[in-house]
Each structure stands twice: as structure tokens, then as C-alpha cells.
């Protein structure tokens, strides 16, 4: 038996693993100290817990603990990296390269920087959502101060050629910032071998708590000096002032440790479930795959149902399955997904697309039940 509604929206957020919750709990009321209280045992205890979490998080991405800055989540890490670098290095140039299918957290920061006199160039993607490397090399300029490209796309799961981007960035001595929020903890990510200079990720996308994230910044590189977003106290190497969220950070550390342990078996199990889902749904007439299943996260599938009233389908399903639509509510209007549009889909096709994202607690029974509900809903709509 599946418990309805079935959660197939792990790319939006994941439940906290119970082991993560257990690790966090003592840090709310028992070990409540301020990690920057240097003069007493309460502070030391909290500081030790933060150090351990910093090691766990660094280990997951092949980094040195000194290269990890804790933040409130990926959105803050992205703002800190892109705005902070742009501000600090404006005298060297004001050109930034990013990709048309980035998360809004990246696109909106770039749009803001445009109002501050920065110039943004967007790398295009092909029909599968894969970014075009040749295009990237073409648009690099002398005054380019940053390349911002995501690791894996949150809507399609498509994995970009990150190490090749890293090599290009190195060849032209341009810092490479990567939003790896959907990749870290799901596939092997190694900041060093991938040639990444700065990287944002978030605890709540990898079975940790909401409201905590990290920014990796490669050490000892003057090109990577950044201006902080806020001031006061000088925490996190003066880059992120404010009392540390000790329970959240402990949770992120535990989540990172669990992901490192479970990543491979989880990816294999979920790819089987994803294939099972796609085999059944892909067989429905008029249904198409958005993106591809090869260079892609194994737990994500984005499907176009190719029908009028795709929004109706999602509404009908919402009682049974929690999924994401190919549309996003920006302000009041329902806009077709900018990712699907960049891949060449029409507004109608984007509106009738659904993202299914599976995770640690998805069972094969969940997929069987979901398939049944989808087939029922589609036949009622036809």
C-alpha cells in the first residue's frame, strides 16, 4: 500500500532523514552554545560540532574544510558568490557568462547585476537541455570575470559537462561558479577534479534541514576574493557574519555523511524505479520525454503529456501524487518553464509537462500506484 499523496517532488525538497533529525536534536536545548563563544565549554562544544560538520560536508565534495562557508541555503550561497565576486572585481571587467536554463536564484542575481552596469551573456542549450560548450568558448571575452553554470538541472535532471567547463575556465583564467544544489549528494561531485572554483549547495535537497547551505570557495586564489553580503561579527572567515545555525549545520553534516555512504546504491535503485515509471508512462500515446535519460540524474524524469489541459491533469493528480508542473508562478501569472522554453518547447507543451523526481523513501509500490493514477487521469481527460 502506498500512502497518498505519493511524494514525487524530491527536487523541490527532501524529507529530513531520521538520522539527521536525531543528530540535530541535542543542539537545540542541551548543547545550545554559541559556536563563537571562545571563552567557555558551551561555546567549545558547539564549535566542535560545527568543525565536524564542516569536515563531513567538505569530504562529500572533495574539498578542504577551510573552503566551506555555511549559509542559509543555496540561494544565499549563489547571491554571495556571484554578487560578491562581481562587486569585488568590477575594476577588472563587468562581463558575466551564465546559462539560459539556470535556476532563478542565479538568473535573478544576474538580472539585478545588469541594472548595476554588468553585462550578462547566456549560453544556449540544445533540445535535450544540454548546454553548448562551443557556444561557451565563443562568448568568452577579455573582460569576463565569471562563468556561472549549474551542475545538474533541477527541472530535467540533465547533467552538464562540468569538468570541460572547468577546463575552459582554467584555460582563460576565469573563475567558475557552479550551482551544484541538485548534484551534491546524488552523484559524485569533486570540486577539484571538476575544476570548480566556487560551488553552492543546500542541505534540504539532500535529506538535511531547510534553511542551511554551503558555499565552497577554493582557497588561496586572489581572483576568488569576494565582498560579503552582510557585515557584523566576522563569522565564516568574514564572509558571512551572523551567529551560526549550529543544529542546522550539524544536520547538514550528518546528511552529507549519509549521502556519501548511500549515493551509489541509491542512484542505482532510483534509476530502476525511474525507468519503470518512464516505460509505463512513455507508452501512452502523445507522451514525450523532455531532456534525456542518459546524461541525467537517475531519479528525475520530465514528461510532456502533449495534451490540451495539462494543468487539469496536474490538478487531477494532485490528490494522489505530489509532482511539479512545467510552469512556475512568478508573481501572479503562471509562466511556462524557462528551462523547457530554452529547449525549444512551445508554451502549450511546457504547460502540459510534469517533473517527477524520486528519492530515498520512494518505493516500487509508490511507482506502481502513481502509474495507475496517471493512466486513470489521462484516460478521463481524453
Ligand X SMILES: *Cc1c(COP(=O)(O)O)cnc(C)c1O
Residues at the interface with ligand X (CB under 6 A): 73-75, 103, 105, 150, 154, 179, 181-182, 202, 204-205, 213
* Bond preceding residue 5 cis, omega within 30 of 0: yes
CB neighbour burial string for 187-225, b if at least 16 within 10 angstroms, e if fewer? bebebeebbbbbbbbbbbbbbbbbebbbbbbbeeeeebe
Asked if residues 122 and 98 have their Cβ atoms less than 8 Å apart, the reply is yes
Question: In the complex, what is the shortest distance from the CB of residue 145 to ligand X, in angstroms, rounded to a whole number?
Answer: 21
How many Cα neighbours within 13 Å face the side chain of 298? 17
Question: In the complex, what is the shortest distance from the CB of residue 194 to ligand X, in angstroms, rounded to a whole number?
Answer: 16
How many Cα neighbours within 13 Å face the side chain of 6? 24
Enclosing H/E stretch for 75: helix 74-88
C-beta of 341 vs 368, nearer to ligand X: 341
C-beta of 56 vs 181, nearer to ligand X: 181
C-beta of 135 vs 210, nearer to ligand X: 210
Question: In the complex, what is the shortest distance from the CB of residue 246 to ligand X, in angstroms, rounded to a whole number?
Answer: 18
Rounded to the nearest 5 percent, the helix, strand and coil shares of the chain are 40, 20, 40
Question: In the complex, what is the shortest distance from the CB of residue 368 to ligand X, in angstroms, rounded to a whole number?
Answer: 27
C-beta of 149 vs 307, nearer to ligand X: 149
- Bridge-based pairing state of the strands 198-202 and 176-179: parallel
Question: In the complex, what is the shortest distance from the CB of residue 183 to ligand X, in angstroms, rounded to a whole number?
Answer: 9
C-beta of 75 vs 337, nearer to ligand X: 75
Question: In the complex, what is the shortest distance from the CB of residue 197 to ligand X, in angstroms, rounded to a whole number?
Answer: 17
Separation between Cα atoms, residue 245 and residue 131, nearest integer Å: 36
- In Å, how far are 247, 317, 356, 372 from 376, measured between CA atoms? 44, 9, 17, 6
- In Å, how far are 81, 88, 277, 365 from 361, measured between CA atoms? 33, 43, 16, 11
Question: In terms of Cα–Cα distance, which of 359, 158, 142 is closest to 258?
Answer: 359
Separation between Cα atoms, residue 226 and residue 213, nearest integer Å: 18
C-beta of 202 vs 245, nearer to ligand X: 202
Question: How large is the angle between the packed helices 246-282 and 364-381, nearest 10 degrees?
Answer: 50
Residues identified as active-site: 329
Q: Which region, left, alpha or beta, applies to residue 46 given φ > 0 means left and ψ of -120 to 50 means alpha?
A: alpha
C-beta of 207 vs 305, nearer to ligand X: 207
- Bridge-based pairing state of the strands 6-7 and 119-123: unpaired
Question: In the complex, what is the shortest distance from the CB of residue 1 to ligand X, in angstroms, rounded to a whole number?
Answer: 31
Separation between Cα atoms, residue 239 and residue 51, nearest integer Å: 17
Amino acid at each position: 500500500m502506498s500512502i497518498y499523496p505519493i511524494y514525487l517532488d524530491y527536487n523541490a525538497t527532501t524529507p529530513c532523514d531520521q538520522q539527521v533529525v536525531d543528530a540535530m536534536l541535542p543542539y537545540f536545548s542541551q548543547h545550545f552554545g554559541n559556536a563563537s563563544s571562545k571563552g567557555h565549554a558551551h561555546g567549545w562544544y558547539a564549535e566542535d560540532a560545527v568543525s565536524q560538520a564542516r569536515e563531513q560536508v567538505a569530504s562529500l565534495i572533495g574539498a578542504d574544510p577551510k573552503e566551506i562557508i555555511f549559509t542559509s541555503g543555496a540561494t544565499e550561497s549563489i547571491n554571495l558568490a556571484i554578487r560578491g565576486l562581481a562587486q569585488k572585481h568590477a575594476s577588472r571587467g563587468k562581463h558575466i557568462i551564465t546559462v539560459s536554463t539556470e535556476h532563478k536564484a542565479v538568473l535573478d542575481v544576474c538580472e539585478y547585476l545588469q541594472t548595476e552596469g554588468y553585462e550578462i551573456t547566456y549560453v544556449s542549450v540544445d533540445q535535450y537541455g544540454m548546454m553548448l560548450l562551443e557556444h561557451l568558448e565563443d562568448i568568452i571575452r577579455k573582460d569576463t570575470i565569471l562563468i556561472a553554470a549549474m551542475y545538474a538541472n533541477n527541472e530535467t535532471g540533465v547533467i552538464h559537462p562540468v569538468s570541460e567547463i572547468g577546463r575552459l575556465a582554467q584555460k582563460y583564467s576565469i573563475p567558475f561558479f557552479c550551482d551544484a544544489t541538485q548534484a551534491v549528494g546524488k552523484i559524485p561531485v569533486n570540486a577539484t577534479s571538476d575544476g570548480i572554483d566556487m560551488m553552492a549547495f543546500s542541505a534540504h535537497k539532500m535529506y538535511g534541514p531547510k534553511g542551511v547551505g554551503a558555499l565552497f570557495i577554493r582557497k588561496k586564489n586572489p581572483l576568488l576574493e569576494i565582498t560579503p553580503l552582510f557585515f557584523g561579527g566576522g563569522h565564516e572567515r568574514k564572509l558571512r557574519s551572523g551567529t551560526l545555525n549550529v543544529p542546522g549545520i550539524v544536520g547538514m553534516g550528518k546528511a552529507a555523511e549519509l549521502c556519501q555512504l548511500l549515493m551509489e546504491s541509491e542512484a542505482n535503485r532510483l534509476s530502476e524505479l525511474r525507468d519503470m515509471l518512464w516505460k509505463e508512462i512513455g507508452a501512452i500515446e502523445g507522451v514525450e520525454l523532455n531532456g534525456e535519460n542518459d546524461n541525467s540524474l537517475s531519479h528525475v524524469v520530465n514528461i510532456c503529456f502533449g495534451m490540451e489541459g495539462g494543468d487539469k491533469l496536474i490538478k487531477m493528480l494532485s490528490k494522489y501524487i505530489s509532482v511539479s508542473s512545467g510552469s512556475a508562478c512568478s508573481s501572479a501569472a503562471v509562466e511556462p518553464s524557462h528551462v523547457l522554453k530554452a529547449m525549444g518547447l512551445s508554451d502549450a507543451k511546457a504547460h502540459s509537462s510534469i517533473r517527477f523526481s524520486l528519492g530515498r523513501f520512494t518505493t516500487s509500490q509508490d511507482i506502481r500506484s502513481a502509474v495507475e493514477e496517471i493512466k486513470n487521469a489521462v484516460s478521463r481527460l481524453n
